[in-house]
Structure 1
C-alpha cells in the first residue's frame, strides 16, 4: 500500500472512553486513503488490544472475545506511520481522533508530529459546506445523502467521513480549499517505526476462530479412567458453568487443561456425560425435578455439546457418580468480598449497592480473599480480570450475579 503520494488520510478510532488523560485507549482504528481530488485509493483497519477493559461496549459493540485476537497499538504503529506520513489527516471531530493517536504513539516512545495545523475536521467544515446540518457524522451524512450503516464501526465511519470530504471537495470545485495543506503535510518529520507484520483483525473474528472447545481437544487414544485427572477437570467445569456461559477465555482454559491432563476428546465427552449425570442426580435428590432444574440441565448439555437425549438418559440413570459437587454448588455467603469491573447497565454503584443489600461486601480490587468477580464482559482484559484468573476466582456476568443473588435471597442466604 503506497501512501507517499499527495492526498488525504481519513481516520476514525473507537476507544474505551473519552479522554486519554483518563488512561482511555484505542480499541479500533481505520484509515481510508484518498487522492487530492477525493478518490479512494486504499483502506485499512484493525481492532486493537488495549490490555484493559473495553469501556462502554453498548456504544461501540466491540467484544473482548474479538479484541483478544488483535495486535496491541505498538504492533501497528509502524503500519500507521506508513499510512499517515505525508498525507493530510481528516476526521469527523479531528481533535478527538488526533488526541488519541498522539497519546498512543507517545506511549510507544515514538511521538508523531503535531498534526492539528494540517488536519481537516469534517465536523468543523460542515459550518461552511452544510450549514443546515447537525454536527454529528450521522446528521452530516443524512443532509449530504451519504450512507452510514453500522455507526461506531471505525471503518464504516471512516468511509462515511471520506465520502463527506469528497462531497465538500465537489462543492468547492473548481478550487480546492486545502491545496496548501497537501503541500505542508509532505514536509512534516515522522519517526521511523519498523513494521511488525501484525495481521489486522476485524470484528467477528472470535466467531470465525473460536470453534467449540471440544473440537480443539486432540483425538488421542483414550487412557483408563482415573479420578486424578477427572477431578481437576470437573472442578474447572464447576467454575466455568457457574454463570451458564462459556466465554472464549474459559473455553481456552478448558482446552489447555485437557491438554495438560492428556485427556482425549473421547475422554472429555465421557466426563461431560458424567458431569451432566451428577447434575441430574443432584436435581433428583429431593424426589422432584423442577422446571428450573430441567432448564439448567438442558442448558448445561448444550454448553457441553451433548445431545438433548443425554439429559433424559442422565435423569433415567440410577448411577450415583463420583463427582457430585455439580455446577451451581458455588454459593456466596454474607460478608464475602465481591468485585465489579467494566461498564454495567445503570452504573457500577447500582450493582455494588445490590451486593450490600444482600450482605456481600463490594471490594475495590482483587485479592486472594475475594470470592467473585462480576464483569460486564467475561472475557475482559482488565487488570482485575487477569488477576482473578491467576487466583482462580470465578468471573461471572451481571445477569448471572443477579440470578445467583435472587437464588441466595430466596434461600435466605
Structure 2
C-alpha cells in the first residue's frame, strides 16, 4: 500500500439529528488527514444532500438553500473512501460519527468494514490526556489551548479534533499509544467504490451562485404581451410572494416557468411591473392606501427587482391593470395546514396556533392541503416535495403567523 495513505483520518459530521435509527442523515462531512507523526497532509469537506429536512438548523447553521446544491452521500462515497482507506479513523465522540458513516454507506449499497476496533475517540482519550477537561470538544480545546471558532462547522470541528490528537501525540512522545491501530488500519480491506464526478459544496454556496432570478433569465428580444403567458406566471408569483420572501427553490421555479413560457428578461420585467400595478390598483380601490399596504407594495417591488420609484408610478396610474387581480390566496376556516421542520417553540405549538385560528392542522401533505408551513422554505423534506408537486404554497412560520393575525381582523 502507498505509504502516503498511512496515518490518521480525523472525521467530523453534522447531521439532522442524533440517531440513524430515527432516520437522521449526514448533512456535512469533513476529513483532516494526518501522517503517523500527527502532521496535517490534507483536508476535504462537503455538504451532503439528505433529501429530507435538516433538523435543528439553529445548532448546525446549515441552510437548505446551500444543501440543495450538494451531492448525495452515494455521490461522495468513492471520494470519502479514498480518504479513509488505510487510515485510523479519529473523531470526538467516535461512536456517533462511525454509527452515521456505517449507516450512510449501507444506504448507498456499499457497506464498509467495522472501523470501531482500531478507531481513536479524542473525547474518550481526554480521560487520559486531559483529566480535568470537560468531555465536550469545546471544553477539551479550551483546556488544551486549541482555538475553536464557529463550532458545528464540520471542517472547523475536524481541525480542532486533529489538533487534540496532535496534542495527545506530543504528550505521549517518544512512543505512540496507537502504533497497533496504524498497523490494523493499513491492512484493512475496503470495498472498491468508484469515484464520481460530484463536486464538493461548502457553506455559503447559495449566496455565491444565486443572484436575483431576473439576472438569470435570458436577455433576448421581448415578445408582445399576451394573457396566455401572463396568467400562469402571475399565479406562480402569487404563490411565491405569499410569505414576502423568494426562497432559492422558488427562484428556480420562476426561472423554469419563464423558460417554459419562452419569457425573456424584458418580458419578465414587464410582467413584474404589471403585477405591481395590479397590487397597487387593489390597494387604492377603497380610496385609501394604508401604511401596511404601502409597505407590502415596497416589499414586493424589491423582491421583484423593481426600483422604489416603480411603486409611485403604480399608485399614480389611473388605468386599471391589464391583467386580472392578483394576490388572491386566502386561508379559510377549516383549511388543512401542514407543518415541517424544526420550529421555534416546537411543531406542536404551531399546530395549536393553527387550530386556534380556525384551521385544521394536518399530519401529511395531500391534494386537499392548502398550505405547508416550513421552518426553512427550501427544505427537501418529503412533505415539501409533495407540496411542490401539488402546487401547494410553502411559507415560513413568521409568514403563517402574519396570515393568521390578518384573518382575525
How far is the alpha carbon of 1:326 from its aligned partner? 2.7
Matches within 5 A, 1:301-316: 301-316=301-316
Match of 1:41 in 2: 41
Query: After the TM superposition, which parts of structure 1 deviate over 6 Å for at least 4 consecutive aligned residues?
Result: none
Match of 2:109 in 1: 109
Q: Which runs of 5+ in 2 are unaligned?
A: none
Matches within 5 A, 1:5-84: 5-84=5-84
Note the alpha carbon deviations across 1:261-284, whole angstroms, 9 max, x for none: 111111111111111111111111
SS at match of 1:387: helix
- Given that 1:3 and 1:85 are in contact with CA atoms closer than 8 Å, whether structure 2 keeps it comes out as no
Match of 1:136 in 2: 136
Number of equivalences: 408
Distance 2:322 2:386 in 1: 32
- Given that 1:113 and 1:190 are in contact with CA atoms closer than 8 Å, whether structure 2 keeps it comes out as yes
Matches within 5 A, 1:4-403: 4-327=4-327, 329-403=328-402
Note the alpha carbon deviations across 1:215-266, whole angstroms, 9 max, x for none: 1111121111111111111111011000000001100010111111111111
- Given that 2:227 and 2:323 are in contact with CA atoms closer than 8 Å, whether structure 1 keeps it comes out as no
- Given that 1:33 and 1:43 are in contact with CA atoms closer than 8 Å, whether structure 2 keeps it comes out as yes
Distance 2:187 2:221 in 1: 65
- Given that 2:14 and 2:154 are in contact with CA atoms closer than 8 Å, whether structure 1 keeps it comes out as yes
SS at match of 2:194: coil
TM-score (norm 2): 0.98
- Given that 2:26 and 2:100 are in contact with CA atoms closer than 8 Å, whether structure 1 keeps it comes out as yes
Distance 1:44 1:263 in 2: 41
- Given that 2:5 and 2:85 are in contact with CA atoms closer than 8 Å, whether structure 1 keeps it comes out as no
- Given that 1:3 and 1:82 are in contact with CA atoms closer than 8 Å, whether structure 2 keeps it comes out as no
How far is the alpha carbon of 1:317 from its aligned partner? 1.0
RMSD, aligned CA: 1.0
SS at match of 2:5: coil
Note the alpha carbon deviations across 1:88-112, whole angstroms, 9 max, x for none: 0000000000000000001111111
How far is the alpha carbon of 1:3 from its aligned partner? 7.9
- Given that 2:92 and 2:122 are in contact with CA atoms closer than 8 Å, whether structure 1 keeps it comes out as yes
- Given that 1:3 and 1:83 are in contact with CA atoms closer than 8 Å, whether structure 2 keeps it comes out as no
Note the alpha carbon deviations across 1:374-406, whole angstroms, 9 max, x for none: 011101111110110010000000000000000
Distance 1:319 1:365 in 2: 44
TM-score (norm 1): 0.97
Change (3 A) 1:3 1:95: farther
Distance 2:322 2:3 in 1: 65
Change (3 A) 1:262 1:3: farther
SS at match of 1:405: helix
Distance 1:256 1:72 in 2: 23
Distance 1:93 1:235 in 2: 50
How far is the alpha carbon of 1:287 from its aligned partner? 1.1
SS at match of 1:167: helix
